[in-house]
Amino acid sequence: MSTVIQTPRTYNQNHVARQYTPGKRRVSIYWTWSYPWEANRDVAEMDNRFSTMTEVRRVTWPAYETPEWDAKNFLQGIAGTLELFHRSALGFQKAAGEVTGHPVAVFQRVDQAGYKLPIDERILVDTDTLMVFGLDHLPSEQEAAPEEIAAIREWLGREGTCLLLGPHHDVGFTSDMKQRQMEYLHHGDPLVPRQQRFSQYTRSLMKALDVPVINKFGLRPALAKGTREIAPLTTVKDMDKLGLLNGVSTFNFHPHLPHYALTTDDTSSIHVLARQPIDLTRPHPFTETGNTEFNAFIWMPPKDDRAGNILLADSTIFTTLFGGTDSLEKFWKNLATMN
């Protein structure tokens, strides 16, 4: 058998704009973190930081004990874990690239080399679908500047645009230590500390763009009875005017997904398209008040001078750190080819 040769990788080069092609969407990912801030966190800090590769190796042993993950070949510390997120998005990038004919552009708010890139016309000029992955920890104080908000508003005035906001979980936001421990035992991931709060940047965008949603908790999805597979979504197909959930029964399993709580009673302009059943065998404050599902996928159709769509879906739905499914890839392709 012949050896499959990986496509050559480029780094530290200026983005080359993608030409508009009718019917072929240009998708861009924007990681909201400051890579240096996250990577340089004091590992003695208990909360609000990513794991180090040492912690990942210890918890997932022996998954990362082969030579390609050692210090000669892969970044260690927190930086290595950040790179796992980049690597885990390659499957989505490949699937979207195949159906659109355009490479998926990947940007970071502050990259490894220290270059800061706000969301402006440099990103938006050749983007039809912008995916904002909210993995910045709250203490890093990332906020959307007025110029960014104005640029995004102007871009959303263009027909055919789509802004996908992906605020991540908000674990342990309370000062009640018993509740923090309950949340920790519920999601069951030893790599997530008792308090891990994400997405200040995305929250600032949601506030500025009048998106009546707040990311809450980190909830563990239920499994299909008698299996290790994630339980099917509860979908509202008659509201899915874009067909994004056609052929989609599940997303991928992730042990701590946010509930996208609506902060308005007026649901005429915002629609919950999919809810995820929660693992009820593990107590959690959210389920103790009678909730059995959380909001997993939301759509805001065009309104007034906003010609573009706004979607909300967690960033980890587009990564494969915790596996992937045919249903998930179908969702990716629906999103990449939406009309």
Tens of pLDDT along 24-55? Answer: 999 999 999 999 999 999 999 999 999 999 99
- Give residue limits of the domains in the chain: 27-336
Distance of alpha carbon 244 from the chain centroid: 17
CA distance linking residue 265 with residue 244, whole number of Å: 24
Handedness of CA 113, 139, 251, 271 (dihedral sign): negative
pLDDT confidence tier of residue 82, bands split at 50, 70 and 90: very high
Average pLDDT for residues 230-240, to the nearest whole number?
96
Q: Would you call the peptide bond into 193 cis, given omega within 30 degrees of 0 as the criterion?
A: no
CA angle, 43 then 47 then 51, to 5°? 50
Lowest-confidence segment of 184-188, 227-231, 297-301 by average pLDDT: 227-231
pLDDT band at 269 (very low <50, low <70, confident <90, very high): very high
- Report the C-alpha gap between 14 and 20 in whole angstroms: 19
Task: Please report, for residues 125, 197, 312, 333, the alpha-carbon distance to residue 149 in angstroms, rounded to integers and kept in the order given.
Answer: 15, 23, 17, 28
Residues 165-184: pLDDT tens digits?
Answer: 999 999 999 999 999 999 99
Residue 1 pLDDT: 43
Three-state DSSP class for 133? strand
Q: What is the mean pLDDT of the chain?
A: 95
Give the single-character DSSP code of 101: S
Beta strands, E only, 35-128: 105-110
228 vs 145, higher pLDDT:
145
Burial of 91 (0-12, 13-18, 19+ CB in 10 A): middle
